[in-house]
């Protein structure tokens, strides 16, 4: 080995003492009691926090509590016996193929069926070639952030927004910037102003992440007449719209507004999911990607999961082929509408006059506003003492500062229990308001 090669080799293979010394040096900057491996963590990992919603979920498992916190879909109406037979028929028919790796984009059969689901959602021109099947819409959000964002890039979000998206974006060290909406969703004029202000600061804005139908947490639906304007504003500023639509089909009256993607194939990356219209545990969602971006999105998705789950894709395909999936969606609509109505009636009956709330036309959530200056986070424990759990509003904003809002989920709770939960919550809020 010549001298310079051996120097290079020595530099690559540090002695054990040198490694120890380095580890001690980096570990010395850690807080007392922290494991030395904390010194190895990426800056990105430090940005990933336990979501406030997760804390609340753990609390809400306590017996005797009425949980209005968790937005789980109600699955009891699924035909379990038939699904069990389908699952075993898939293994019998497809054999080991059902348990093997598959293509990274997902099966052509399911991608073709997903185009039919999207037709029901209001997208009539989807091509299976541009569909990438992902592990839920959550994983598609992650891939989108990875493909488009470097640290410091801006993603605009409607404030409040889905906590899982906030966590994903923050993990990529994205600068998440809120756009304030009203009871009809994002206000185009405010979006325009926000974009201009951020651009004036020299920020690079990459995406607008939005849930136009029955936003989690607010339950708000973006007004029809604002939809095209919002896409036009983004197009002009060269911002890609990331439209997340897991609740779209769950509009109670079944009369769906057009997705942003409908007439905007080039400027909207659309996310869909079977979690709310079939079953979340299967972890099957999808992205409909503008054709010119498909390859980039698909390769990034493949780098994370190799391929979406083969067996689960077959089960979803079988479900779409052999079950009345549209009938099941109607069942869900009626069920969620009944629950939403029960929740709204209980709120009207028990809540103090100074509390207001959204009146969703679909989805899972109602969003309560207390008078300005009251922070709902400290009320969580008072609620638990009174036997009811909710999610404080701070969880759904990037700043996570004090918030006078809170989220109630009606999806998983029968009407009479919803009423009981509101009856318990109302005095807690009344006492906080009375100061
Ligand atoms: N987007 C929104 C708005 C959600 O509320 C949720 C989950 N509740 C998700 C995405 C994640 O859905 P999936 O199960 O498809 O990953």
pTM beyond 0.90 = yes
pLDDT value at position 303?
95
pLDDT in tens, 283-321: 999 999 999 999 999 999 999 999 999 999 999 999 999
ipTM score for this prediction: 0.99
Evaluate if residue 6 carries a pLDDT over 50: no
pLDDT value at position 4?
45
Share of the chain above pLDDT 70, in %: 92
Q: How confident is the model at residue 24 (pLDDT cuts 50, 70, 90)?
A: low
CA of 246 to the centre of ligand 1 (A): 6
CA of 398 to the centre of ligand 1 (A): 17
CA of 211, closest atom in ligand 1: 3
Q: How confident is the model at residue 51 (pLDDT cuts 50, 70, 90)?
A: low
pLDDT value at position 313?
98
pLDDT value at position 33?
87
> If you average pLDDT over residues 97-109, what whole number do you get?
97
Q: Which of 133, 138, 271, 285 to mutate to test the pocket of ligand 1 (most atoms within 8 A of CB)?
A: 138
CA of 338 to the centre of ligand 1 (A): 22
The CA distance from 70 to 57, in Å, is 6
Evaluate if residue 71 carries a pLDDT over 60: yes
More confident residue, 393 or 32: 393
- Number of other CB atoms surrounding residue 259 within 10 Å: 23
pLDDT value at position 238?
98
> If you average pLDDT over residues 12-38, what whole number do you get?
66
pLDDT in tens, 353-396: 999 999 999 999 999 999 999 999 999 999 999 999 999 999 99
Q: Which of 56, 106, 121, 137 to mutate to test the pocket of ligand 1 (most atoms within 8 A of CB)?
A: 137
Average pLDDT, the chain: 92
Residue of minimum CA distance from atom 12 in ligand 1: 137
Evaluate if residue 8 carries a pLDDT over 70: no
pLDDT value at position 34?
86
Residue of minimum CA distance from atom 11 in ligand 1: 138
- Number of other CB atoms surrounding residue 44 within 10 Å: 12
pLDDT in tens, 131-171: 999 999 999 999 999 999 999 999 999 999 999 999 999 99
CA of 138, closest atom in ligand 1: 16
Evaluate if residue 3 carries a pLDDT over 60: no
CA of 140, closest atom in ligand 1: 16
Share of the chain above pLDDT 90, in %: 83
The binding-site residues of ligand 1, defined as CB within 6 angstroms of any ligand atom, are: 71, 136-138, 162, 164, 211, 216, 244, 246, 273, 275, 280, 285
More confident residue, 264 or 17: 264
């Amino acid at each position: 080995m010549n001298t310079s090669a051996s120097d290079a080799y020595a530099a690559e293979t540090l002695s054990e003492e040198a490694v120890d010394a380095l580890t001690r040096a980096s570990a010395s900057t850690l807080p007392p009691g922290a494991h030395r491996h904390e010194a190895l963590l990426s800056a990105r990992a430090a940005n990933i926090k336990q979501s406030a919603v997760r804390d609340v979920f753990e609390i809400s498992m306590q017996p005797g509590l009425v949980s209005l916190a968790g937005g789980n879909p109600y699955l009891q109406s699924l035909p379990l016996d038939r699904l069990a037979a389908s699952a075993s028929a898939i293994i019998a028919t497809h054999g080991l193929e059902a348990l093997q790796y598959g293509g990274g984009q997902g099966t052509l059969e399911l991608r073709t069926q997903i185009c039919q689901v999207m037709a029901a959602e209001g997208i009539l021109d989807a091509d299976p070639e541009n569909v990438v099947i992902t592990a839920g819409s959550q994983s598609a959000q992650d891939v989108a952030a990875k493909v488009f964002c470097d640290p410091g890039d801006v993603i605009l979000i409607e404030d409040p927004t889905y906590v899982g998206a906030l966590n994903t974006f923050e993990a990529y060290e994205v600068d998440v910037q809120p756009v304030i909406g009203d009871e009809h969703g994002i206000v185009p004029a405010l979006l325009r102003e926000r974009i201009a202000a951020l651009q004036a600061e020299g920020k690079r804005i990459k995406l607008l992440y939005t849930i136009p139908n029955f936003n989690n947490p607010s339950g708000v639906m973006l007004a029809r007449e604002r939809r095209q304007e919002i896409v036009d504003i983004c197009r002009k500023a060269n911002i890609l719209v990331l439209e997340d639509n897991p609740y779209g089909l769950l509009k109670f009256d079944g009369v769906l507004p057009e997705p942003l993607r409908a007439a905007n194939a080039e400027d909207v990356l659309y996310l869909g999911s079977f979690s709310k219209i079939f079953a979340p545990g299967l972890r099957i969602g999808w992205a409909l990607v503008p054709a010119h971006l498909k390859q980039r999105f698909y390769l990034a998705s493949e780098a994370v999961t190799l391929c979406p789950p083969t067996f689960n894709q077959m089960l979803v395909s079988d479900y779409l082929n052999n079950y009345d999936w549209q009938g099941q969606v109607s069942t869900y609509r009626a069920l969620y509408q009944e629950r939403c109505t029960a929740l709204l009636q209980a709120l009207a009956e028990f809540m103090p006059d100074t509390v207001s709330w959204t009146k969703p036309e679909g989805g899972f959530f109602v969003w309560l506003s207390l008078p300005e200056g009251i922070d709902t986070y400290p009320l969580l424990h008072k609620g638990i003492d009174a036997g009811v759990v909710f999610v404080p509003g701070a969880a759904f904003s990037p700043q996570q500062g004090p918030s006078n809002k809170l989220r109630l989920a009606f999806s998983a709770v029968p009407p009479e229990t919803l009423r009981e939960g509101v009856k318990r919550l109302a005095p807690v809020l009344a006492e906080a308001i009375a100061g």
